[in-house]
Amino acid sequence: MEAINHFLDPILIVPYRWLDGPVGAWWLGTSVLALACVALGELTLRLGKRLNRASLAELDGQTRRMHDNSLRALKQGDKSSYKAMNKLANEAFGRGFFLKAAMGMASLWPAFLAAGWLEARFQGLVIALPGLELGVGWPPAFIGLYILGRLAWGRLKRRLAGRGAQAPTA
Domain of residue 135, residue span? 2-165
Report the length, in residues, of the chain: 170
Q: Could you tell me the CA-to-CA distances from 9 to 30, 33, 72, 156 in Å, in that order? A: 13, 12, 61, 30
Q: How do residues 56-80 score in pLDDT, each as one tens digit?
A: 999 999 999 999 999 999 899 989 9
Write the CB contacts of 83 (distance below 8 Å, at least 6 apart in sequence).
70
Whether pLDDT at 6 is above 90: no
> Is the four-CA dihedral 91, 94, 98, 104 of positive or negative sign?
positive
Q: Would you state the pLDDT for residue 170? A: 47
Q: Examine residue 128 and state whether it is found in any structural domain, yes or no.
A: yes
Q: How do residues 103-137 score in pLDDT, each as one tens digit?
A: 989 999 999 999 999 999 999 999 988 788 889 99
Q: Examine residue 170 and state whether it is found in any structural domain, yes or no.
A: no
The pTM assigned to this predicted structure is 0.81
Q: Examine residue 83 and state whether it is found in any structural domain, yes or no.
A: yes
Backbone φ and ψ of 165, nearest 5°? -85, -15
Q: How big is the CA angle at 81 (ends 79 and 85), to the nearest 5 degrees?
A: 120
DSSP E strands in the chain: the ranges are 127-128, 135-136
Instruction: Please report, as a single letter, which amino acid is at residue 59.
Output: L
Query: Looking at the 3D structure of the chain, how many domains does it have?
Result: 1
Whether pLDDT at 165 is above 80: no
Q: Would you state the pLDDT for residue 131? A: 80
Q: Would you state the pLDDT for residue 40? A: 97
Q: How do residues 74-84 score in pLDDT, each as one tens digit?
A: 899 989 999 99
